[in-house]
Every structure is written in C-alpha cells, then in structure tokens.
Structure 1
Amino acid sequence: MATTQVSKRPSARRSTVAWKYAMAVSGLVMLGYLLVHMYGNLKFFQGRETFDSYLHDTLPHMFYPYLPEGGMLWIIRVLLLAAVVVHAYAAVTLWRRNRAAAGYVGGTRYHSKHNRTGIQRSYASFTMRWGGVVLLLFIIGHVAQMMPNWLSPGGASDSKYERTVNGFEIWWVVLLYTIGLLAVGFHLWHGFWSALTTLGQNYSPTRRDSTWTRIAIGISVLLTAGFLSVPFAIFFFGAGS
C-alpha cells in the first residue's frame, strides 16, 4: 500500500524570514530614534539654557498630563532596548545560518573574485558585522555618558551642556566618538537599504539603480554629519567655551 507524504516547508526557513523582518523593523525603529536624537543634539547650538531646558524640562514632560512625568521617556527606553536586543539577536542568528548554508569547513569557505560589487555588495555591507560590534560598544558607552554623571571624562556637572563641552574638549573622546559615528554611518548605509529590500519596497534589479541607495547614503551622511557637528564645533572651534 503506497503512502503519500505531505512535505512541509522547513520551519527554519520560515523562521529565517521572520528574523529578517524583525531585523528590518527593529532597525527602522532605531533609525527613527537616531533622527530625533540628532534633532535634540543640534539644540546645543542654541545655547546652554535652551539645551539644558530641552533635556530637563521638555523631554520629561512629553504627553504630560496624559502620561506621568518621565513616562514617555521610559516607554521610549523600553522600546529602544527591545529593538536593540531583537536586532542584535536577529543579526547573530542570521549570521550563523548564513555561515552554515555557505559551507564553512574549518573556518574557510569557497571564495570567488567575481561580482565583487554586485547586487548586494558595497563597502558598507562588508563592514556590517564588525561595524555592528563597534556600534554596540559605542551605544553602551554613549548611554553611560548620557546618564547624569555616570561617565563624565571632562568632569561631572549638573548641566548636560557643560558635561558635553568638557567631554569633547578631550581629543581621545572626540576620536572615539568619531569612530563610533562612522560605524553608525556605514551601518545605516547598508542597513536602511537592506531593511527596505526585506520589506518589499526595493524593486530595482541592482543596488546602483536603486533610488533607495541614494536615500540611504543621504540619511547616513546627514546623521553622521549632524552628530559630529557638535564635538567638532567644540574641539576645533571652541564652541560653548
């Protein structure tokens, strides 16, 4: 008696697609936060009173009295932390599956010199993994720096404006911040394009023909330049002194 087996699509394949979507959505959440964060940083150029007032008065009272004081900030923190954890876990999961599927044996695999700048190849895509590690370390350090006097290399102060000026007058602080922001820029360059491709919004046959490539580069340059404008203005031009 013949029996017919109904083949089922491997659950791992469905899971891989799900993780790609999770990585794309969590990445876009973090991008939205970065844009808002950059807007807040640029208030530095409006002076100490405006900058400190924005951080100490405006942000804690978002949606008040509908939310308690600081409530919206905690919602943003929880969502951002969840996005970072999901993004990092998805990246590691997909990397391990891709490594297994690519046929790594003894730490090596087949390499081809052809199509080095093909559909999904760019300098940013080659730096995604290590750039992501640098970015994670940068986020940890930056969060510690943002907390009141947790990490204040230039000296503790109740004024965030003063802590910012004191910190970015030190050359190695500016250097580490620059390295971190360059990692952010390269990560966004590839990540934004890849996220929209995963979500089905990129219809171009190659990366070079894609309008989203130019938009991704533009967003990366905008965010990198926007964030670096404050430390460079302080260190090179004495802003805030």
Structure 2
Amino acid sequence: MSDDKTTHFGYQEVPVKEKASRVRAVFDSVATRYDLMNDLMSLGIHRLWKRRTIELAGVRRGQRVLDLAAGTGDLAEQFARIVGADGGVVMSDINQAMLAQGRERLVDAGIVGNLDYVLADAETLPFAGNSFDCVTIGFGLRNVTHKQYALNEICRVLRPGGRALILEFSHPTTKPLAKAYDLYSFSVLPNLGRLVAGDADSYRYLAESIRMHPDQETLRSMMEQAGFERCEFVNLTGGIVAIHRGYKL
C-alpha cells in the first residue's frame, strides 16, 4: 500500500474504497466456472492442498468452525461432515455469487442442518468474540484490502485454544520453480481463463494478486501481530502454496 488512500489491485494502484468492488466483479465473472477452473489450473492438486488444511485444522465432532472466503464450499463441506449434528459450520464469503454457488453445491451434496451461510467482509466479521473453535480462509486473504484487519478479526472471534489456518498461494522456494511458475501464471493462466471462463483479465488479476501477497515469513509475523501464538507454516508444492497456522491462547 503506497499510502492510506490507495492499495494494490493486482499490479495496479487503486483507491482503497474501490478494491472490494473490483474483487467482487472478478468473482462475479468467474463464479459459475470456478470449480472447473480450479481443477484445470492446478491439475487437481488444489484438492490435496485442501485435504492437508483439513488435517492440520484438527477439527473434532461438536466444534464450531468458520470458513471465510468459502467460495463454493470445499472446506466447509468437509468440516460439516466432521463436526456432525452436534457441531456447526458457518460458510462465509463477501461475494454473493460465490456464496450462492457454494450453497447450491452443498445442498446438492446433502449438507444441511449444521451449516449456515453468511455474506460478510473478513475485515469486519458480524460474530461475537470467542465464538469459534477454528477459523479457516482458503485462497482468500490475498484479496482482502486490509489483511491485518482480517487477521485481527479472525483472532477476535476464535475461542481461547482455537486455531486459525490460512491456505494461500505463496512464494516458491527455488529460483527455477519461481521462473517456471511465472511463465505459467502470466502466459498459460490468462489464456486458460479466456478459453474456459471467457475472462482472461480476471485470471491475470489472480496471478498478479498472488505476487503481491506477503511471503511466508511476513504473513507469519502479521499473524503474531494479530495476537496469535505458536505460528508456523507448511510449504506445499515447493512453496507455490503455504498453510499458516496459529493459536489463540
């Protein structure tokens, strides 16, 4: 962020007040093809990344889970199955189109009764403090205008002993991988978006937003600043993706 009035939207500098609407437009555009594009972009590996996130979350039956930037509900679906009827999952997203896609998919999957849907901004969560045993945000933090505000809110709504997990694209750990990843991101990805989703610009933004996201160590420091303890991260696929975990003590 260059000052308190502008912020990054990919590689562009835009007024802070415009970023949320621009991000919303991106996901309005890609919502109906989001799951298909995830499979194509990652060759299906995103499913393994999410499975590892669920393992690290350590959610148990009867607990309450908040899944932010829930998209079409991959994480929320699995958490709802784990916590059972005695627990509960809140699936939240700032984007109405994505939340609608997720709700339709999860209803079709038979996930009802212990799952609620909330349209909310991660920077100002409409939940009381100490409400959840676990909060996750998968591939969404990089789209938040004020990431520190979101981390502060996640810590606030967690119960003591609760944990937060952030699954996000990150920074490759070797230069050869970083070069190959750049080539893929800025050449293949926008063309794939154009062919499959009819939208090259949105996928170019997604690639740029990944590059502007804090690296692994910086994000860990931001979690500590928000009040989390025992913060750690696990690199997946050579650091292309990282899972950060922290606890509220």
TM-score normalized by structure 2?
A: 0.29
Question: Which structure ranks higher in relative contact order (CA pairs < 8 Å, sequence separation ≥ 6)?
Answer: 1
Name the one with the larger strand percent. Answer: 2
**Bigger fraction of residues in helix:** 1
Larger Rg: 1
